[in-house]
Chain A
Amino acid sequence: MICFKDLSFTYKGEKAPALSEINLTVEDGGFLGIIGPAGAGKTTLARAITGMIPHHYTGDFYGSVAVNGLDTVDTSIDEISRMVGMVFQDVESQIISPLVEDEILYGLENFGVPREEIPQRMAEALQKVGIADLQERSIASLSGGQRQKVAIASIIALKPQVLVLDEPTGELDPRSSRQIFSLLKELNEEQGITVILIEQKIMLLCEFAKQLAVVSGGKIIRQGNTRDVLAHADELQALGVNCPRVTTLSRMLSEKTGAAQPVCINLEEAEKMVRRLIG
C-alpha cells in the first residue's frame, strides 16, 4: 500500500512548491492513473513514491509517504527499490547500458536474482513487451519507441510489487501503446502488481485504470474511481485535461436529452447508450 499524508515538497533552489498537501492512498493491487497538465507535479509525485525524493532530489519535505508501511524518509533508496520499480519519462537517461541485453541484466544482477533464473526472466520480460528480437542489439541502433520498450522490459524483469510509470508510451505508436497498457493490466490482475501510471493518453488511461487522480498546480484536484472522476468532465476541461470523446459524448447527450446519462468510459458503453437513446 502506498500512502501519502499531507505531502508538500519544494525542490531545492525553487520558490514554488512542486507538490502541496497531497493526500493519496493506493491499495495493494490497485491501478491508479494520474493525469494533469504539464508541470502539474506528476513526475514529482512519482519520484516521491520511489524515494528519489527526498534521497536523490533534495528540498523542503513536509508530511510523509509510506510504501508498504515504511516511511520513505527513513528507508534507503535501495530498500524502496526492492519494492518499487520506475520507468522514467526520459528514456534516454534511464538506459544505462549500450546493449539491450545488458540493460535488462543490470537490475537483475544488482538485486541478486539467482543465476539460473536470469535467462528466463530476461526472455520473459523481452517477450512480454514484444521485443524478443532486439535482445542482441545496441541501444544506439534502436528507435525512440523501441528504446522505451527496452526501458519498460528492464523494470518488468525485476518483478517489483509496485510499478510506477511516467508517460511510458510517449514515443509509442497507438498499437504499441495499447499493447503496453494491456500488459500492465495483465500484470496488475494476474500478479497483483500495483500499477501507478502517469499518462497523457486519456482514452487508454480511462479504459484501463481502476482509479484516477487529477493533478494540477501541485495539488490533487480530484481522485476516485475512474467513472466518478470522469463525471466531473467540465472541471477537467477547465484544467486543460481532455476527456475521452465517449465521455464528452455522454455529457453532451445528457444536456441535450435533459436526462442524466451514465458516464461512458469505452466504446462499447457509448454504443449501448446511443442505441438505447435511438431506441
Chain B
Amino acid sequence: MNNLFQYVPGKSVIHRMNPITKLLITIVICVAAFLSDRLLFLAGLLAVDLLIGVIGGVANRTWQIFRGLLKIAIFLFLLQVLLTRKGTPVFWIITDQGLLTAGKVVLRLVVVCMPLALMLAVTRISDLTNALVQVLHVPYQYAFTLSTAIRFIPQFMEEMSGIMEAQTARGVAFDKARGLKKFSMILPLCAPLLISSVRRTDQTAAAAEVRGFRLRTRQSGYKRYPFTGVDFGAFVFCGALLAAAIIL
C-alpha cells in the first residue's frame, strides 16, 4: 500500500512515451468509459487498462491496484444491486436491470481509476511536471503543487505510521481493534498528523524557495519532451478508442 503511487523504473514502450501522451491516454480512457453505455465495451476498456499495465512491465502493480479497487467495487455492486427497484426480478429482490446497472457502475469505476494509478507507476513525477510546463505551458506553480501533492502521499503515510508506532509504544493496541473501533482509535491521530504535515509543508516551501523556486522558467527543465513515433501511434489509438466509444 505504501508504494502504490510510486514510480517503477523501466524501459518499456510506455515508459518511453511522452508524459503528455500518457496523460492523454488516461483522459481518453476515462472519457470513453463515460461515453459508452455498453457493458461489453467497458469490459474491453478494462482489458485495455490491464494490457497497458502488462506492456509497461508493471503487471504486479496493476494487479495490486486492481485488487484494491475490487474490494470497493464489490461493496458498490452489492449496494447498487440491492437498491435498484426497476426491471424484472431474477432472484429475491434482485432485478436484471439492477445487475446490469450495477455492473456498469462498478466497471466504470475500475476502468477510470486504474489508468491514473498506472500512469504514476510508469511516469516520473518530475517528467510529468516538466512536460506539463514545457509542452502544455501550465504555469510552474500549478504543476509544482500537483507533483508535491503526489510526492507527499507516501510521506504522510510514513508520518502516520510513525505516530501510530509512538502510540503503540505507549500501550495503544491498534492490532487488537477492528473496524469502527480501530477507526475511532485512529481518528484522534489526525490532529498531530495535520500539525506535522503543515509544518513540513511550510519547510518544504522554504527549501524550494532557497533553491530558486521563483527563478524557474518554462525553459528551465534539463530534459526535453518531444513527441516521437510511439506517441503518434498512441494518438491514433486514442482516436480509435474515442470513435469506438461513440459508435458502440
Contacts and interface: CB of A to CB of B under 8 A. Distances in A.
Contact of B209 (A52, A98, A99, A115): A52
Contacts of A109: 216, 220-222
B126 A99 contact: yes
B169 interface: no
Given A78-B214, A110-B215, A115-B222, A94 B9 contact: no
Interface in A75-116: 76-78, 80-82, 84-86, 88, 90, 92-99, 102, 105-112, 115
Contact of B222 (A88, A118, A155): A118
B126 A97 contact: yes
B205 A78 contact: no
B13 to A, nearest CB: 20
A86 B97 CA distance: 64
Interface residues of B, number: 30
Given A96-B148, A109-B220, A140 B206 contact: no
B216 A110 contact: yes
A110 B213 contact: yes
Residues of A in contact with B, size category: 35 or more
A105 B126 CA distance: 10
B125 A96 contact: no
Contacts of B222: 105, 108-109, 115, 118
Contact of B208 (A50, A96, A118): A96
B204 interface: yes
B124 A107 contact: no
A275 interface: no
A56 interface: yes
Nearest to B212: A110
B180 interface: no
Contacts of B151: 96-98
Interface in B169-216: 200, 203-216
A56 B209 contact: yes
Contact of A138 (B7, B209, B212, B213): B7
Contacts of B125: 97-98
Interface in B126-159: 126, 148, 151, 154-155
B106 to A, nearest CB: 32
A22 interface: no
Nearest to A136: B9
Given A56-B205, A93-B200, A105-B222, A98 B7 contact: yes
B6 interface: yes
A111 B212 contact: yes
A51 B155 CA distance: 27
A120 to B, nearest CB: 12
B3 interface: yes
Interface in A12-37: none
A158 B205 CA distance: 18
A136 B126 CA distance: 13
Contacts of A98: 6-7, 124-126, 151
Contacts of B126: 97-99, 102, 105
Interface in B105-130: 124-126
Contacts of B7: 98-99, 138
Nearest to A55: B209
Contact of A81 (B3, B200, B203, B209): B209
Contacts of B214: 76-78
B206 A56 contact: yes
A118 B223 CA distance: 11
A159 to B, nearest CB: 13
Q: Which 6 A-B pairs have the closest CB atoms?
A: A110-B212, A93-B203, A107-B211, A102-B126, A94-B207, A109-B220
15 contacts: A51-B210, A57-B206, A81-B209, A90-B200, A92-B155, A94-B203, A95-B207, A96-B148, A96-B208, A98-B6, A99-B124, A108-B222, A110-B211, A140-B154, A154-B211
Given A52-B210, A97-B125, 16 more contacts: A56-B205, A56-B206, A80-B210, A81-B210, A88-B207, A93-B200, A93-B204, A94-B203, A96-B151, A99-B126, A102-B126, A110-B215, A111-B212, A112-B217, A154-B211, A158-B211
